[in-house]
Amino acid sequence: LYGETGPDVWSCFDWVCRNISYQRDIGEFWAFPSEVLAKGTADCEDTSNLLTSLLRCRGINAYTALGDYQGWGHAWVDRAGQIYETTYTRAQPVPDPEHYIPYVLFDDREVIELWPGALGEVFELGRNEVAKLNLMAEAIGNEMPPECPSCWPFMVVGLVTGGILGTGFAMILQKGEYKG
């Protein structure tokens, strides 16, 4: 992967967007970054964990952010306050950064609650898959019909292998066992 993207953050971000297709999961199963690379599909927290892992393996300080996007639970990558929306089909700046409200930032070594109890509040946020798909559609200028989320054209991806973000925390989040 490094040979394809080099050390540039934006190139790595673009690679994740172009090579990992958005696919919702049932029950919020958190995949290891290596599983995402092998499968080529993932949802927001999985693509965010992948990009965070890839950047950190290159010595670049980045975090997966869990929080609110337009009233719904969402995940993205935060690097020094810059938002990287990994569900897009290509790298681009987010048009509405004011709508991304982080509650928690984490990587393979630490969890940062942005206020006491923020992690617990993450689990109270709702999910809206159609809104996420429409967000991707807006990014490339095509509205996806709400009655047909499966019609969305996703990119064909190849098989690669890569680094793993420590997922002990992800497993704790998945089980809801974190007591911040």
Domains parsed from the chain with CATH numbers = 2-175 (3.10.620)
Please give the structure tokens belonging to residue 110.
Answer: 């630490």
pLDDT in tens, 48-68: 999 999 999 889 999 999 999
- Structure confidence at residue 68 (pLDDT): 93
Higher confidence at residue 54 or residue 139?
Answer: 54
- Burial 25-37, CB ≥16 within 10 A → b, else e: eeeeebbbbbebb
Instruction: For residue 95, name the pLDDT band (cuts at 50, 70, 90).
Output: very high
Q: What is the pLDDT of residues 2-16, one digit of tens each?
A: 566 666 899 999 999
104-125 tens-digit pLDDT: 999 989 999 999 999 888 877 7
Q: What is the DSSP string of the chain?
A: -HHHHTT-HHHHHHHHHHHSEE---SS-PPPPHHHHHHH-EE-HHHHHHHHHHHHHHTT---EEEEEEETTEEEEEEEETTEEE-TTSSS----S-GGGEEEEEEE-SS-EEESSTTHHHHHTTSB--HHHHHHHHHHHHT-PPPTT-GGGPPPPP-----------HHHHHHHHT----
